[in-house]
Chains A and B, each alone.
Chain A
């Protein structure tokens, strides 16, 4: 009897190990943009319902975190709300990783204040002046006589980088404008939303997927004359909303297997339907 067990046990372990390994090859790790976490999770859940023997794990941390993880080889796919930097491509080449970019959705970046704030619209220049600390009081913009509390994301956020490059520096590489040092760096978009909800002085920014009734999204115009436009799906699709950006997936080299199948799913009608449900903007085909 004992001998029999001695023989069967290793075989059993070997077989179960193989089975488990087989299972493991059907799982992928996705890391990156906090803006895209909710979207990614919705995609993953729907995908896993459709293909029950696959497993997809989605975690946030910021676009930079995701791209760093892709370079280090600790995830299969990185979500990013900004394009990869040359520095990161060089770094990846050193680690024999070839990042491939796929555009999966669009996002409008909302500039938000508390619903109690009388301000409804701002120009891009005003917003830049607020976030760089040139304007410090709501009165200067025709609002209440209250100090402005500037909320930003941490530096590991793609949204932080995008906002700095496209609003503070107006897309000009040579400008060196920075967020004011008095800006509060919040650990997540949700933390910004929570603070806006209870603070009339605060102004912040995040992907329009996080908007709800407890915050007010400002209408934004490129300059004083321009039409002031609210961040809605329609306005992002027709291009009239100023602050919109692509949401991206980076993979290592040509996609295959589960990674390819998952990306195909995100780009399918069903996947793009989910994009709309999470309040992001589907890509126009």
Chain B
């Protein structure tokens, strides 16, 4: 063995271990975060029961007899997310299909950089724009008492989810082998039939992943939502009512709490709930991906 090759082997060994360690670090950080969340959040349940927390309908955290019912907050988050998904998924997938399959190279370039630009707008800026332009518009268009509604939040969040959905879905569509489409066209399918029945179907696992990542972004978003949804902790009966989301509650109240108080622990418990929700979404995405692959 020459000296040179042994040197190479050592460096290879080191690089391999370094990569291995980096991989472990990510998992370690996730585990540490979860332990921290659990440690702080679970202390709450010394004083109230899990069902009082999850199913309670009143959120009055700083009253003398505080009430920590997060059911209105869960509804709020889910309603805003559902609304945003209903808006952003069809538009997102349609524009991804257009960019990947239909548009001429020139238009494609313009559209792609436009969408990347949309992703670059900070959420607080979108929230501010929403507050001064969208909120009055929603109020006058839908004749509702206030424009600070779940719907306004959904619209803003749809804008934020769109870049994620479009760019990942477009990648998935581009990854479909050209010959699938060519074969379909050769068999006499029209262009639309080829896109709808072949390319989109073949790319569907990637598209599901795109949707899930988009929804993940939506449910975790805080700032923009806090500025336009009104933050009223009441179970909404329509999408045109104000709602309070889980994330906005943590952000708005974290500054006030005294470390170690029940209120403090309840905010961490909300963090656990959020963690569980996003984890479930990822699990569904994973499940969908694997089912489609086999």
A68 at the interface (CB under 8 A from B): yes
Chain B residues with CB under 8 Å of A201's CB are 145-146
Chain A residues with CB under 8 Å of B72's CB are 181
Partner of A155, one of B135, B230, B253: B253
Q: Are A62 and B255 in contact (CB under 8 A)?
A: yes
Q: Which residues of A from 20 to 65 have beta carbons under 8 Å from B?
A: 61-62, 64-65
Given A154-B231, A199-B146: A187 and B256 within 8 A (CB)? no
Q: Are A155 and B147 in contact (CB under 8 A)?
A: no
Q: Of the 9-residue stretches B7-15, B58-66, B181-189, which lies at the interface with chain A? A: B58-66
Q: Are B258 and A61 in contact (CB under 8 A)?
A: no
Q: Which residues of B from 251 to 294 have beta carbons under 8 Å from A?
A: 252-253, 255-259, 261
Q: Are B258 and A88 in contact (CB under 8 A)?
A: yes
Q: Are A154 and B145 in contact (CB under 8 A)?
A: no
Q: Which residue of B lies closest to A72 (CB)?
A: B259
Q: How far in angstroms is the closest Cβ of chain B from A1?
A: 37
A50 vs B25: C-alpha distance when bound (angstroms): 52
Q: Are B146 and A184 in contact (CB under 8 A)?
A: yes
Chain B residues with CB under 8 Å of A88's CB are 258
Q: What's the interface size class on B, roughly?
A: 35 or more
A285 at the interface (CB under 8 A from B): no
B233 at the interface (CB under 8 A from A): yes
Q: Are B146 and A182 in contact (CB under 8 A)?
A: no
Partner of B255, one of A65, A71, A148, A186: A65
Q: Which residue of A lies closest to B231 (CB)?
A: A185
A217 vs B212: C-alpha distance when bound (angstroms): 47
Q: Which residues of A from 174 to 195 have beta carbons under 8 Å from B?
A: 176, 178, 181-187, 191, 194-195
B226 at the interface (CB under 8 A from A): yes
Interface code A127-164, partner B: CB below 8 Å = 1, 0 otherwise?
A: 00000000000000000001111000011100001000
Given A71-B258, A194-B132: A181 and B146 within 8 A (CB)? no
Q: Which residues of B from 198 to 238 have beta carbons under 8 Å from A?
A: 226-227, 230-234
Given A149-B145, A199-B146, A201-B146: A187 and B242 within 8 A (CB)? no
A219 vs B136: C-alpha distance when bound (angstroms): 27
Given A154-B231, A176-B65: A181 and B58 within 8 A (CB)? yes
B148 at the interface (CB under 8 A from A): yes
Pairs across A and B, CB under 8 Å, 25 listed: A62-B255, A62-B256, A64-B255, A65-B256, A68-B256, A71-B258, A87-B261, A88-B258, A91-B258, A154-B256, A155-B61, A155-B253, A155-B256, A156-B252, A161-B62, A178-B60, A181-B233, A181-B234, A183-B232, A185-B231, A185-B233, A186-B230, A186-B231, A187-B231, A191-B131
